[in-house]
Structure 1
Amino acid sequence: MKLQDQFKILTTFFENESIDYALIGAFALHAYGYTRATKDIDFLVQEKHQNKIVSYLEKIGFQTLHCSEGFSNHFHSFGKTRIDLVYVDEQTANILFSAASPKLIMGDLSLKTVSPKHLVTMKLFAVKNDSSRKFKEFADIREMLKQKAIDNLTLKEVLKSQNMEKYYEEITGFQN
């Protein structure tokens, strides 16, 4: 099965069930001009839809590899791409969805994608929760700066909001 078909399996379900979603992760980075290798498709959805989504994926043959309050990942033998879902509360979802916009992902496939600012925030949050992710996440943020998806002022603002200002120089190479 083609990668584009894997996107459509899930996004068609989201649309049929009136589930708001936004693309995150490496494919969101790609939408903003930075392409890197990935083995997963990442979406953000409201936590209230978790059971419905997990049940649907299992019904169509996906194996649930992990499922917790804020995250689940799924794999199907027809493709080598894993589906990762991040679940957020309604208030957070409303903020993220209101700033998200459709972006061209591949071919003629356009998907609602989190804003660059929120993508950076999520990457910093990931580092906050797991410091072993720092190298990868900071590299992604550096590339977003290079692609001008975000600017230094926005980065400073996001770092401050996460109480992570001390990482500005490490990310950018500039003194604060």
Structure 2
Amino acid sequence: MDFRLVFEKLLTFFHENNVRYALMGGFALGLHGVSRSTVDIDFLVHRDDLSKIQAVMTELGYKCIYQSENVSQYISPLKVFGEVDFIHAFREISLKMLERVEEKKVFNETVSVRVLKVEDIIGFKVQAIANDESRKAVDLGDIESLMALYKSSLDWDAMEKYFSLFGFSELLSDLKRKYLQ
């Protein structure tokens, strides 16, 4: 997958068409200082912008291989375009995430991209663990890497909401002891 090419095409479209989005997943982790390999691109997008997403993905030759109320997954027959996943923001908590994104520069400062805040990435990682126990090792590793890097600069109160929402308050207490000492 040519990440630069895909980013340039999608982000140009997003900006020209006022698509409300934020980068998340492995690529977002990298922009926040946590190195992790990834084979796709993941975005959080406002549900009201899904028709725009469908239009650009179809125009670029992608095929929608899965769609639900919560997610759309696209894959291109061309390896250069790879796979792009979209998480649909429609609940208050995810809509708020889109309001507090950070701008980051990628590809030698040539491309600007909206990225979820660290706490919100952690929130999605907690949700992923709650939804699929088999993801725990990787996602908890990502959470701990972010906590080790950002420690006291994190909004721990915001993260408490995510952890308690999914029944992981005790896990957060353990992580606080580990990373706030």
TM-score, with length taken from structure 1: 0.85
- Is the counterpart of residue 41 in structure 1 residue 58 in structure 2? no
User: Displacement of 1:73 after TM fit?
Assistant: 1.4
- Is the counterpart of residue 24 in structure 1 residue 28 in structure 2? no
2 CA distance for matches of 1:115 and 1:42? 14
- Is the counterpart of residue 167 in structure 1 residue 171 in structure 2? yes
Q: Classify the secondary structure of the residue corresponding to 2:126.
A: helix
Percent identity for Structure 1 against Structure 2: 23
Q: Classify the secondary structure of the residue corresponding to 1:84.
A: strand
Could you say which residue in structure 1 is the equivalent of 2:90? Answer: 89
User: Displacement of 1:91 after TM fit?
Assistant: 3.3
2 CA distance for matches of 1:169 and 1:91? 25
Map residues 118-133 of structure 1 onto 2, 5 A cutoff: 118-133=120-135
User: Displacement of 1:53 after TM fit?
Assistant: 1.0
Name the aligned partner's letter for residue 41 of structure 1.
I
Per-residue CA deviation, residues 36-86 of structure 1 (Å, 9 max, x unaligned), is 110011111111222331232123211222111111111221416311111
Q: Classify the secondary structure of the residue corresponding to 2:150.
A: coil
Map residues 145-160 of structure 1 onto 2, 5 A cutoff: 145-148=147-150, 151=154, 153=156, 155-156=159-160, 158-160=162-164
2 CA distance for matches of 1:157 and 1:74? 31
Could you say which residue in structure 1 is the equivalent of 2:15? Answer: 15
2 CA distance for matches of 1:38 and 1:131? 20
1 CA distance for matches of 2:12 and 2:155? 37
Q: Compared with structure 1, are the counterparts of its residues 65 and 145 closer, same or farther at alpha carbon in structure 2 (3 Å cutoff)?
A: same
TM-score, with length taken from structure 2: 0.83
Q: Which runs of 5+ in 1 are unaligned?
A: none
User: Displacement of 1:170 after TM fit?
Assistant: 6.8
Q: Classify the secondary structure of the residue corresponding to 1:19.
A: coil
Q: Is the 8 Å Cα contact of residues 27 and 105 (structure 1) preserved in structure 2?
A: no
1 CA distance for matches of 2:55 and 2:69? 15
Q: Classify the secondary structure of the residue corresponding to 2:53.
A: helix
Q: Classify the secondary structure of the residue corresponding to 2:139.
A: helix
Per-residue CA deviation, residues 136-164 of structure 1 (Å, 9 max, x unaligned), is 11010011012227649455554234331
Q: Compared with structure 1, are the counterparts of its residues 89 and 164 closer, same or farther at alpha carbon in structure 2 (3 Å cutoff)?
A: same
Per-residue CA deviation, residues 90-147 of structure 1 (Å, 9 max, x unaligned), is 6344411222110123322221111111110111111112222111110100110122
Could you say which residue in structure 2 is the equivalent of 1:60? Answer: 60
